[in-house]
Amino acid sequence: MKLRAPATPIINIDPYFSIWTENSVLENTVHWTGKPNTMSGRVFVDGEEFHFLGFNENNIPEMTVENVEIDAFSTIITYANTAICLTAHFTSPTLVDDLYYASRPVTYCKVSYENLDGNSHTVAVKFTASEELVLEKKGCNTVVTAPVDIKGITAIKMGNANQNVLSRSDDYICIDWGYLYLGVNGDGKAYSSALDNMNAISVEADLNSDALFLFGYDDIDSIQYFGDNLKAYWRKDGKTIEQAIVEAANEYNTLLARCNAFSDKLKKDATQKGNEKYADMLLLSVRQIMAAHKLVVDIDGNNLYISKECSSNGCAATVDVTYPSAPIFLLYNTELLKGMLRPIMRYAASDEWRFDFAPHDVGQYPLLNGQFYGVKRENGNTEIDKNMQMPVEECGNMIILFAAICDADNDVSFAKEHIDTISLWSKYLIKYSLDPENQLCTDDFAGHLAHNVNLSIKAIMGIAAYSHILQRLGENDEAQKMMNTAREYAASVIERAKNSDGSYRLAFDQPDTFSLKYNSVWDKLWGTKLFPQEFYEGEIARYKKEMLPYGVPLDSRKNYTKSDWLLWVASIADNQGDFDLLVDSLWNSYNQTADRAPMTDWYYCDSAKISMFRHRTVIGGLFMKLMF
């Protein structure tokens, strides 16, 4: 790809095992939070030591980075010195269309070399991983290391000596339970070591032609769910991490071929539906999206795909995080999207949730025991601050997603399971969608807003989505009634929100303002035609007028935008040139930002500076254009 990644993915499995480099020479390795996850890669050429990745202890000579190629599941880095060209091929095969591989916590690095000077050489490679990968921060506890007996694999493991599994929750934290496994397929050396004055483990092997290194993490238990500690999906049949590592080593070539085929098709589809820059962004996004989730199985055998609201507050199973991330899962695997909705539906049916609208979340990752956002729990009592809820937002989100799943599966059964709750939420939308009260929406960083036009559009699309579900259930009369209501409400919005220039307001009572009407994308996608063509033309014209070097602001209030919403409004454009204009502005922001971090969704359009968010699953929203 031509895109200079703002951060380069290296090991990307889940919210605790997600390692990146944040500069072009790949000198550091960090957790997605930006906290050090110090690792090192060394190569020995005829006994002479060179550094090629991560922390360079003792300032040994550096291999030069010649090229970095990134696709959906692999980062291929080429290095050189005067003697050899070294290739490190990192692959995290978290295939979106396969539940098992989306879950299995093993990343590969295949290392190979070619002679450059015409001479033969003896070459060996060593990877070292520090205690920072198994602790909240270095030195905060003692770590233990031990060799691991795995058939055909030379391996060692490291973990916190004090294993308090699922003992805490927060946002910008690293895991401090479970065990990191570092190994190489075949013969090699595995041993306890040190790195930057920390405890560490190392594995090294000769490169006759290549060597396959494996990085695994066994978190023991992954999610606490209403009091039950749940294991990851990959362990559901009793498989151990040692067995998973052997399996991974044996199927490397086959699995790499699957990853490459997925990536190649994604690149082709994205280029055809969008352009090459659009394809670049989708390829870079896949591992980030997958690594912001954890796939587990509850005690009843249901799949739960738990998102972490990274770099916000760490909420888990957040509805307005699921909503923008949904396109990638609607395209490739609706079971993962269903796994995001199941926790919300269970909590909404509980005695604790006493409202006629949808919850915001089900906890703070990795502890899912009830809503975290705007909730206080003391002495067995739960106090939910209604002022901090997003009632229209979350009701609209949930019903739209249920309808979208019906379309993707051509099957209404999942919605049918929950139809009573969906019906309750539709009534809430009918009551409040024409002119939403002063409340938060998913863009809660912008604060409360009354009379929010875009929120009204979301509610109207929620009513239309309910009509769609009813029609699939054979409730044709009620479906038509709901669609008539949606049409009536949409006409009212058009009349009350129009600006003199043909665009539409941020709020009904704020003339000449604007906002990205990203919720209208479903009207375009479904062909419901609730909003006339002039609505879309007026909006696109206003976006072009408000365009800054790195995109269109979210609304009139600030110069920041959201990348997911920017791509949703790009998808409503009928003209390819307008789509390209918006897509290219986002591509430029990632390519030129000085803030080297995993892909953000919240940044300033005048500078490409990240406002706060990083490593967010909502980047799945960039896939919206592929749904058309």
Residue pLDDT, tens place only, 368-419: 999 999 999 988 888 999 899 999 999 999 999 999 999 999 999 999 999 9
Residue range 484-534, pLDDT digits in tens: 999 999 999 999 999 999 999 999 999 999 999 999 999 999 999 999 999
CA distance 52 to 143: 26
Per-residue confidence at 25, pLDDT binned at 50, 70, 90?
A: confident
Q: Distance of CA 184 to CAs 1, 199, 253, 561, 598, Å?
A: 29, 20, 15, 44, 28
- Supply the pLDDT for residue 295: 98
> Could you read off the pLDDT of 309-356 as tens digits, one per residue?
999 999 999 999 999 999 999 999 999 999 999 999 999 999 999 999
pLDDT value at 69 more than 80: yes
Q: What is the CATH number of domain 8-260?
A: 2.70.98
Q: Are 134 and 175 in contact (CB under 8 A)?
A: yes
Euclidean distance between CA atoms 162 and 602, whole angstroms: 37
Residues 74/90, Cβ–Cβ less than 8 Å: yes
Decide if pLDDT at 199 tops 90: yes
State how far the Cα of 256 lies from the Cα of 332, in Å rounded to an integer: 18
Domain ranges in the chain? 8-260, 302-627
| C-alpha to C-alpha distance for 95 and 104, rounded to whole angstroms | 10
CA distance 282 to 276: 10
Cα 475 to Cα 562: distance, rounded to the nearest angstrom: 38
Among 135, 138, 150, 134, smallest CA distance to 195 is for 138
Four-way CATH pick for 302-627: 1.10.3720.10, 3.40.50.720, 1.50.10.10, 2.60.34.10: 1.50.10.10
Name the DSSP class of 626.
G
Query: Which pair of structure tokens corresponds to residue 28?
Result: 């550091």
pLDDT value at 592 more than 90: yes
Instruction: From 143, 145, 155, select the one nearest 214 (Cα to Cα).
Output: 155
Confidence band (pLDDT; 50, 70, 90) for 3? very high
Q: With contact defined as beta carbons under 8 Å apart, do 135 and 31 qualify? A: no
Tell me the angle at which helices 453-472 and 419-432 cross, rounded to the nearest 10 degrees.
140
* CA end-to-end span of the chain: 24
pLDDT tens per residue, range 38-63: 999 999 999 999 999 999 999 999 99
Lowest-confidence region among 25-39, 221-235, 531-545: 25-39
491: which residues sit within 8 A by CB, 6+ positions away? none
Question: What percent of the chain has pLDDT above 90?
Answer: 97
Mean per-residue pLDDT over the chain, rounded: 97
What are 253's two structure tokens? Answer: 């070539």
CB 51 within 8 A of CB 41: yes
Residue 236 in contact with residue 227, Cβ under 8 Å?
Answer: no
Q: How far apart are CA 105 and CA 125, in angstroms?
A: 23
- 180: enclosing H helix or E strand: strand 179-185
Q: How far is residue 493's CA from residue 573's CA, in Å, rounded to a whole number?
A: 20
Picking from 8, 601, 553, 623, the residue whose alpha carbon sits closest to that of residue 311 is 601
Distance CA 247, CA 422 (A): 42
Give the pLDDT score at 365: 98
Question: Going by C-beta distance under 8 Å and a sequence separation of 6 or more, which residues neighbour residue 252?
Answer: 108, 110, 185, 212
SS3 per-residue string spanning 227-260: CEEECEHHHCCCCCHHHHHHHHHHCHHHHHHHHH
Q: How, if at all, do strands 179-185 and 210-218 pair? A: antiparallel
Output the pTM of the full model.
0.97
For the segment 105-133, what is each residue's pLDDT rounded down to a tens digit?
999 999 999 999 999 999 999 999 999 99
Kindly give, in sequence order, each residue whose CB lies less than 8 Å from that of residue 240, ignoring residues fewer than 6 positions away: none
Residue 208 has pLDDT above 80, yes or no: yes
pLDDT at 103: 98
Alpha carbon distance 337, 335 (integer Å): 5
pLDDT at 373: 96
**Which pLDDT does position 23 carry in this prediction?**
79
Which pLDDT does position 24 carry in this prediction?
A: 72
Tell me if the bond preceding 366 is cis, omega within 30° of 0.
yes
Residue 380: the pLDDT is: 81
- Alpha-carbon distance 133 to 122, whole Å? 31
| Burial class of residue 445, CB neighbours in 10 A (0-12, 13-18, 19+) | middle
**Each residue's pLDDT tens digit, 616-628:** 999 999 999 999 9
Could you give the angle at the alpha carbon of 546 between the alpha carbons of 544 and 551, nearest 5°? 80
Residue 535 and residue 524 in contact, taking contact as beta carbons nearer than 8 Å: no
Q: How many CB atoms lie within 10 A of CB 117?
A: 10
- What is the secondary structure of 264-331 as a DSSP string? HHHHHHHHHHT-HHHHHHHHHHHHHHHTTEEEEE-TTS-EEEEEB-TTTT-BBS-HHHHHHHHHHHHH
